[in-house]
Chains A and B, each alone.
Chain A
Amino acid sequence: MLGFEALDLARFQFAFTVSFHILFPAFSIGLASYLMVLEGLWLKTGNEIYHNLYRFWVRIFAVVFGLGVVSGVVMAYEFGTNWSGFAERAGDITGVLLTYEVLTAFFMEAGFLGIMLFGEGRVSRRLHFSATCLVAVGTLISMTWILMSNSWMQTPAGYEVIDGRFEPSNWLEIMFNPSFPYRIVHMGLAAFISVGFVVGGVGAYHLLRNRRDQAARKMFSMAMWAILVALPVQIIAGDMHGLNTLEHQPAKVAAMEGHWENEPDQKGMPLVLFALPSMNDAANHFELKVPYASSLILTHTLDGKIQGLKDWPRDEWPDVPLVFWSFRIMVGLGMLMLGMGVVGLFLRWRGQLYEARWFQRLALFTTPVGFIALLAGWITTEAGRQPWVVYGMLRTEDAVSMHSVGSMLTTLIGFMVVYAIIFGIGIYYMLRLIRSEPMNMVPSGGPGHERQPKRPMSAADGSFEEQN
């Protein structure tokens, strides 16, 4: 049917559901920490602007968190429904890590979210701040377990294979497998940066409406500082992550670089800036190269070498154009984001940060840029792991459940329709929240305040639709 095989559909379905899902946890991770900083600053300085900003963003956090929960439940079951070969062989390791995530993070987040969203005025400020901190820590704990699991699939360690199944032999080696430290730093920073651009974009939107808006100035300024500090660190972390990948998954790096042939001796590797890689010809078309640059980046010497893809059998190549281009999109956007941080600093130095309308329009336009880079990065690392699900050990085609094309297609359409609906509703509602004035946040849940919201997405008092 349509030339797709069930395996392609299974991969596409997982890619679709996980890409949709990951936006929301990434948003929650960054935003929860931002809320923690805002509330901490408010308690420390007593400046009401921070309190207003907290109330503004906590309502958006509620919607984001809710969408993360409903799309996350699907993921917990998809490992079994769609990838039963993987679940059966690797469940002794990945199932245990997932259960720890439920036990240490999901229950804790659910438990303290209520106080964080609705407890103001009912519990002491200190207790409320503790709840905010616990939710923020919960999002980080959750990220830690799931990235351990993902990293173990990329760089498996601490296991023995017994009758074709992965059994744990050393839990510390499993948890702190070779790519985990790099991945968690890279992903954590990516979440913070993505949220930095969202906060900056929303701040810019309100500055464009009213450049005297104190809360808008504050969030725009905080976002620009965060971006300026985080981007250089992220680029260094990304470089180190790349070197780690080169050590453990050299074929992935070869695909990222569009590097097919081993270079002759005494010659540095060029960096391919642009090309149309062709799997059939095992070569790049329309190449644009910078001499020596790849050697410099990957080996930090002028004539260092890495293996070309032709060193591996054809059936162990990942999809080169996809990995090559998603990597370039991530890096390109990273450079754009770094540039914005630097320009922001320059404008601040010239006292123009709140005046330069063009820069605010740019910031508004680039609101989603962090998320796009984040997705591109995940596509690079996940598509680059192919054709393996557990790198070098278990092939994706041996991991997939034996569903027919018909049932895969049916469920895929079901997911796409349902996600389009809930995404539409969620975005519509979030935009309404974003458009409200950050300086006019009314306290919620205080004495004499009748409507006590108790549910994540119900934290906002506003009606979902305009009254007519």
Chain B
Amino acid sequence: MTIDLPVIWYLLIGFAVAMYVMMDGFSLGVGILFPFIKGDENRDVMMNTVAPVWDGNQTWMILGGAGLYGAFPLAYSVILPAMYLPLILMLLALIFRGIAFEFRFKSNRSRKWFDLAFSGGAMVATFSQGVVLGGIINGLAVSERAYQGGTFDWFSPFALFTGLALMAGYALLGAGWLIMKTEGDLQKRFYQLARPLTLLLVASMIVISVWTPLSNGRIAERWFTFPNIAWFAPVPILVALLSWSIWNGVTHSHERRLFFKVLGLFFLGLSGLVISFFPLIIPPDITLWDAASARASQSFLIVGYVILVPIVLIYTAYSYYVFRGKVRAGEGYH
């Protein structure tokens, strides 16, 4: 029996993307929540909760991109040019977000500008990522192993909506994270934000779940036929249960569980995508086997991945352990 390497690589890259979405998701969420919180000191605390870890979080995005390049070069070389403008916008926004971390604490007069760079950078980067996701779900025009569509094919009401939806999602992740990492009045503020954000996110997930099969016959067919429907059924049920539990968790002030429940919501959303599209890697036609690089490439690379990623995970867990606990005003890492 030969091992189906492309399927394994699909899961490994999925893992890197999931790590990125969940980890940079809350870092970007902190930036999205900036406008809701007034006061330099509060904003210092918010930034300090992510300051020691944001860089490592972002490295997962590079792993996802580079891994796609090496394991599915066709997907890399179609999705990236198709999403040219939103991706470049995302990269530029991430530059502003990144340098704001470094320079905000050193500035006095221009602190407002670095607040804007941090928060605006996070919002634009998140929105762009959501647009890219929506654009991929909508499908890309591919022929002769190259993208054949136009510069603005990604621009659609659906993609703009997924952009906004992701902003709500990351903001909720950020709120969950900040509830865990802060205390007192500031923490109360995030409890207050958690419920409306949960409503927004769940409403967005419902809209996306209705919109997708309505505009995409193949997905509708996939979802509403037996036995596929049996695979899907748990996803909406679990989403409903988790959201209800998050709603209740706010009442009972579950400081830590809330964040992990929001992570659970994201995980369900991502698994819903995988169930809907597997084995497609570029909707509507290109499968992961079409896009895979040579077996000699995938097997050479997998050795490094399975040895090195566990080491990275151990190191990452350790650094979260070192910086565990509440962050208080005036004791920042800066």
A381 within 8 A of B: no
Quick one: which of B268-324 are within 8 Å of A by CB? 293-294, 296-297, 300-301, 304-305, 308-309, 312, 315, 319, 323
CA distance A468 to B110 in the complex (A): 12
B334 within 8 A of A: yes
Q: Residues 104-125 of chain B: 1 if any A CB is under 8 Å from the residue's CB, otherwise 0?
A: 0111111000000000000000
Tell whether, in the assembled complex, residue A465 and residue B108 are in contact, meaning their CB atoms are under 8 Å apart: yes
Q: In terms of DSSP, what is the predominant structure of the interface of chain B?
A: helix
Tell whether, in the assembled complex, residue B62 and residue A76 are in contact, meaning their CB atoms are under 8 Å apart: yes
CA distance A169 to B73 in the complex (A): 17
List residues of chain A with CB within 8 A of the CB of B85.
Answer: 407, 410-411
Within the complex, what minimum Cβ distance (angstroms) separates A224 from chain B? Answer: 32
List residues of chain A with CB within 8 A of the CB of B66.
Answer: 76, 95, 98-99, 101-102
Tell whether, in the assembled complex, residue B293 and residue A80 are in contact, meaning their CB atoms are under 8 Å apart: no
List residues of chain A with CB within 8 A of the CB of B296.
Answer: 92, 167-169, 171
Q: Which of A80, A98, A418 contacts B80 (CB 8 A)?
A: A80
Within the complex, what minimum Cβ distance (angstroms) separates B72 from chain A? Answer: 8
CA distance A77 to B321 in the complex (A): 31
Given A458-B106, A458-B333, A465-B107, CB of A401 within 8 Å of CB of B81: yes
Tell whether, in the assembled complex, residue B63 and residue A102 are in contact, meaning their CB atoms are under 8 Å apart: yes
Within the complex, what minimum Cβ distance (angstroms) separates B62 from chain A? Answer: 5
List residues of chain A with CB within 8 A of the CB of B63.
Answer: 99, 102-103, 106
Tell whether, in the assembled complex, residue A455 and residue B84 are in contact, meaning their CB atoms are under 8 Å apart: no
List residues of chain A with CB within 8 A of the CB of B78.
Answer: 84, 88
- Give the contact stretch, choosing among A67-75, A247-255, A353-361: A67-75
Given A455-B52, A455-B101, A465-B106, CB of A402 within 8 Å of CB of B81: yes
List residues of chain A with CB within 8 A of the CB of B96.
Answer: 418
- Output the residue of B58, B73, B105, B305 with the most chain A CB within 10 A: B73
Within the complex, what minimum Cβ distance (angstroms) separates B175 from chain A? Answer: 23
Given A455-B102, A457-B103, CB of A99 within 8 Å of CB of B94: no
A308 within 8 A of B: no
Tell whether, in the assembled complex, residue A79 and residue B69 are in contact, meaning their CB atoms are under 8 Å apart: yes
A265 within 8 A of B: no
Given A76-B65, A95-B66, A110-B55, CB of A103 within 8 Å of CB of B319: no
Q: Which of A96, A401, A407, A422 contacts B99 (CB 8 A)?
A: A422
B56 within 8 A of A: yes
Tell whether, in the assembled complex, residue A454 and residue B333 are in contact, meaning their CB atoms are under 8 Å apart: yes
- Listed by A's residue number, 8 A-B pairs whose Cβ atoms lie within 8 Å are A70-B99, A87-B80, A91-B77, A95-B76, A96-B70, A110-B56, A422-B99, A458-B51
Q: A465-B110, A468-B108 are in contact. List 18 more A-B contacts (CB 8 A).
A: A73-B61, A77-B65, A82-B81, A88-B77, A88-B78, A91-B77, A95-B66, A96-B293, A97-B70, A99-B67, A103-B308, A106-B63, A110-B56, A406-B151, A429-B103, A455-B55, A455-B101, A458-B101
B-side residues, CB < 8 A to A, are 51-52, 55-56, 58-59, 61-63, 65-71, 73-74, 76-81, 83-85, 87-89, 91-92, 94-96, 98-99, 101-103, 105-110, 145-147, 151, 293-294, 296-297, 300-301, 304-305, 308-309, 312, 315, 319, 323, 331-334
A-side residues, CB < 8 A to B, are 63, 66, 69-71, 73-74, 76-77, 79-82, 84-85, 87-104, 106-107, 110-111, 114, 162, 167-169, 171, 401-404, 406-407, 410-411, 414-415, 418, 422, 425-426, 429, 450-458, 460, 462-465, 467-468
